[in-house]
């Protein structure tokens, strides 16, 4: 009963997040600090499942404006998905189960972005699944383990921040999910003010 109650509560939280409109935004300069909340919340799971996590944060990143709680929720979802994928891989030793998190500056369509990526060395995602991954209520997890809203909500959140989210996966080798947030410039500042 407790397990099912927790699962229902998670579904309701996801539905509320899915329906929620954009809230307050703040300027973020310390992206290393931003990733600490998701990592600390998932620390026990990561430790219990013997997963090695590597974090690389580029120096002198430009600031970005975002809803910190929403971006943290996206990161929690992506890291949790990686943990689930690595569980399916079946390795029990730390050096065989790995999540690499990278935050760096990049330029996309002549726009400076802060790019987050979460990559695992799990079983990968087939091409036909990748094409449906962001659809609401689509999940490959067993009944009771997934709602099919995590990546759909993540996409909605990132697009509301004028960014985009992408999946790159090679079945049998890895999955990488990355998203970019526009660096704070006079143009993005005006967009967010409207």
Strands 52-57 and 98-108 come out as parallel
- Residue 138's pLDDT is 56
- Torsion angles phi and psi, residue 146, rounded to 5: -145, 150
The per-residue pLDDT for range 54-85, each reduced to its tens digit, is: 999 999 999 999 998 899 999 999 999 999 88
- Contact status, residue 65 vs residue 31, Cβ threshold 8 Å: no
Cβ count near 21 (within 10 Å):
5
- Residue 192's pLDDT is 42
- Residue 189's pLDDT is 47
Concatenating the DSSP letter of every residue in 29-69 gives: --HHHHHHHHHHHTHHHHHHTT-EEEEEE-TTPPPEEE-HH
Distance from C-alpha of 130 to C-alpha of 125, rounded to nearest angstrom: 6
- Residue 74's pLDDT is 94
- Residue 24's pLDDT is 75
The per-residue pLDDT for range 180-189, each reduced to its tens digit, is: 999 986 454 4
- Residue 193's pLDDT is 41
Residues of the chain with pLDDT under 70: 7, 10-11, 13-23, 89-95, 136-149, 185-194
- Residue 136's pLDDT is 64
- Torsion angles phi and psi, residue 86, rounded to 5: -70, -30
Please list the alpha-helical segments (H only) found in the chain.
2-19, 31-41, 43-48, 68-89, 127-130, 150-160, 186-193
- The torsion of the CA quartet 68, 97, 54, 179, rounded to 10 degrees, works out to -40
């Amino acid at each position: 009963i407790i397990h099912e109650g927790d699962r229902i509560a998670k579904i309701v939280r996801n539905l509320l997040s899915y329906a929620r409109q954009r809230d307050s935004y703040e300027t973020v300069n310390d992206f290393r600090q931003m990733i600490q909340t998701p990592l600390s919340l998932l620390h026990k799971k990561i430790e219990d499942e013997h997963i090695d996590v590597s974090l690389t944060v580029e120096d002198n990143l430009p600031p970005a404006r975002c809803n910190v709680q929403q971006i943290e929720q996206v990161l929690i979802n992506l890291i949790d998905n990686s943990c689930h994928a690595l569980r399916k891989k079946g390795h029990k030793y730390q050096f065989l189960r790995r999540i690499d998190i990278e935050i760096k500056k990049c330029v996309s369509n002549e726009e400076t972005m802060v790019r987050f990526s979460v990559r695992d060395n799990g079983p990968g995602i087939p091409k036909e699944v990748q094409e449906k991954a962001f659809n609401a209520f689509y999940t490959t997890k067993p009944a009771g383990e997934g709602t099919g809203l995590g990546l759909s909500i993540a996409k909605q959140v990132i697009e509301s921040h004028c960014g985009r989210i992408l999946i790159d996966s090679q079945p049998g080798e890895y999955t990488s999910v990355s998203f970019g947030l526009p660096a704070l410039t006079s143009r993005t500042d005006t967009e967010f003010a409207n």
